[in-house]
Structure 1
């Protein structure tokens, strides 16, 4: 029987990011059969080809970061692309799975492993805290092509909101990938993007409504009969009195009952001015028909 203890990998697991490669282990005198036995006993886990870490629960974001760093450790010529590149630039993602991790290398055809999608390298890279990645506009468009318009809009809005990129840079990046498969998703996401959105939930709600044919305005200011602005709401259906507020960010969580009371008074004030307010929750984002139906019913009631 092979003698395997968790202490055997202690020094290796103290390497950056808690990752070590097969080459690191061999240099430390650990043979392949010992590594295999440790994986079998779950003393360590394989992140991607030839890269290992300690076992333990990870959030999706933590797993994405770990896989990205492991891929760069495994392939010295790799560059992060798509979703992990967007995350590497510090931009949040909406419901994008951690696997497969996306990288590019100087290869001719796309290849896959159990954990990675490896694409031909077509763009220059920039340095991020995670390592080399494609520039943010290109990364955002690749994300959109890979994971769809709502996910793309959510991250594009966030990048526009923080000033990390702008529409001109996105349009320039679009020109370089215009002939790629699913580039129409990227084109649509740019057209529907709005940097005024203040949360991923707002962005996805707007994407759902735009997809249903509604024109949506963000951060709508509500004024009373004297022209005094009494509230600002997340979004409204253009040309109507139908408004939507996204509750996923829970604006009043930290304020306790007083904040909840103020929010109710605020909404009562908006309704008294003839507006219909629809509350959208995070769960609703996964049932787009609920949001569309609520808007459709509100418009019918107001007609």
Structure 2
């Protein structure tokens, strides 16, 4: 079947920035997929390396590939930019330094056939593992466990990255906030937005392999977040909703105070805009102490 005539059921979305040398490995994992009915959509967030040349050199006779380039603005802006180019009914974000197991697309599409007519289900969530086969998050209590990100993961403190697959129409209906001079906002803000409206099917199998390389967002950690305080404050605000346990909201109130101080804005104005002014005011001394510690 010609690539252009093949039905595209899912979009593998890869935002990338100066990671051209890693794309061949991800491409290889996609070429090995047992089902090829997918689009690989690469969004280049203003790379200054040879990403464009490398992508052009990759063979694309097995699945549909599309490459788009934009000005640098951070991963969240690349996700926003991707919306018009998504062709699949589902979206799975696969970072440029990661790759998929050979049966990943087949697993997703087979599982989705069971739930695609249920409009209360936003998508699927699979386990991630390291190259040493270490699972990064707790397995769900059942092979097909239906819950939502807030109830199942946040309120039960189930940490660790997972591979989320989402309906394209939902993904495209959410726009990540963008703040001038900042390059980061957590993807968690999207999953909490979905959790207030829809359920997710949690699977007990790993399909996504991670390589946490130096210079990546995961490795950049606290220092990187402190440089993007407005985005981090917006992320904290997404926790201040009735569905989330108080203990979680207290932690985020402290972090909100830390990032508000890092923003160099008037702290009391920031607190008044937080949607949880009482908590943020109550724990401001803790936030100040943590800000001083982290600043050092």
Taking structure 1 as the reference length, the TM-score comes to 0.30
Query: Which has the larger share of helix?
Result: 1
Give the structure, 1 or 2, with the largest relative contact order (CA under 8 Å, sep 6 or more): 2
Taking structure 2 as the reference length, the TM-score comes to 0.31
